[in-house]
Amino acid sequence: MKVEIRNLTRIFQRGFKAVDDLSFSFSSGEVVGFVGPNGAGKTTTMRILATLDIPDSGDILLDGKSILDDPALAHRAIGFMPDELPDRTDTTVEEYLDFFGRAYGLRGKALADALASVEDFTGLVSFRDKTLHELSKGMKQRVSLARALVHDPQVIVMDEPANGLDPRARIELRELVKALAENGKAILISSHILSELEEMCTTSVIIERGRRLSTDFEDDTAWIRLRFAQKEGEDFLARLLEMPGVKEAEAAGNGFRARIASGDEAAAELAKGLFSRGLVPIHFASEAGRLEDVFMHVTKGALA
């Protein structure tokens, strides 16, 4: 399925444009990272896509059909995962999912099969009889994802799904997202954790003040990732910064990153210089442009 957001605009009180002539598209099998500062218009856009809000102008098309003209189309095709699960203390996981399955028109065996499928996929089988307030943050996010998937939608919209999750839960969420994409789902996912998005997204859309920002900018530098065999007392970062041609360097994981001029010649010069100084890397590889770097380059951090 192809999702097209066309010239979307949403204006709130006092003329504030939460979304301003926004356009982009994504299709089945794609995971699109939706990125922007707080107040950039991400949640408003997602709410419109989920038919929880109405734009002042523009449209959203699913395989060429307008969801404004046919909201039922969006209800069938889109699963929306909000940024927080309501804490209904008297509701069990099974009851919560059952309610939404029935809301989507599932009954009898179809409903039972759907609940069993999403509970198995999200790892909720052993938690189905627990009430929502008994669950950890990670488990609540799994329930929220299961709710979005219960009617087997073709498009998944996820608003800050990794918010508040511990490292293990983030890894598990990432694997679930990848599995959904491999099964042909079109996924739009917003997050402030850019490193997480970079690991699971096929592309990204960056917005600020409700408008999409261009990421087509000239950058004549490149990052090299390096790792050295541990030497007692050796300050590799300081020595990297002293290297001719190194514009910037920083620690990264169990190694380092160095920014140099782009091109094979500059990388070869860096490698040659390291060897000549007795700094023999056990890992030396170019690194694709990071989403964090692009985000900091194109955004200004302004809300209005």
The per-residue DSSP string of 188-201 comes to EEE-S-HHHHHHH-
Q: State how far the Cα of 207 lies from the Cα of 200, in Å rounded to an integer.
A: 19
Task: Note the pLDDT tens digit of each residue in 70-115.
Answer: 999 999 999 999 888 776 678 999 999 999 999 999 999 999 999 9
Q: What is the pLDDT of residue 86?
A: 72
For residue 304, the model assigns a pLDDT of: 42
DSSP at 15: G
Under 8 Å CB-to-CB from 283, ≥6 apart: which residues?
225, 226, 227, 255
Does this model's pTM top 0.85? no
Within this chain, domains 2-212 and 221-297 share the same CATH topology: no
Q: Where are the domains of the chain?
A: 2-212, 221-297
Q: Which residues of the chain have pLDDT under 50?
A: 217, 303-304
Instruction: Name which CATH class applies to 221-297.
Output: alpha beta
Distance CA 97, CA 91 (A): 10
Query: Is the four-CA dihedral 81, 87, 92, 95 of positive or negative sign?
Result: negative
pLDDT at 245: 92
Residue 303: what pLDDT? 46
Q: What is the pLDDT of residue 192?
A: 82
Q: Show the tokens assigned to 116.
A: 């069993």
Quote the pLDDT of residue 57: 97
What CATH number does domain 2-212 carry, 2.40.160.40, 3.40.1280.10, 3.30.360.10, 3.40.50.300? 3.40.50.300
pLDDT at 218: 55
Residue 30 CB coordination number (10 Å):
17
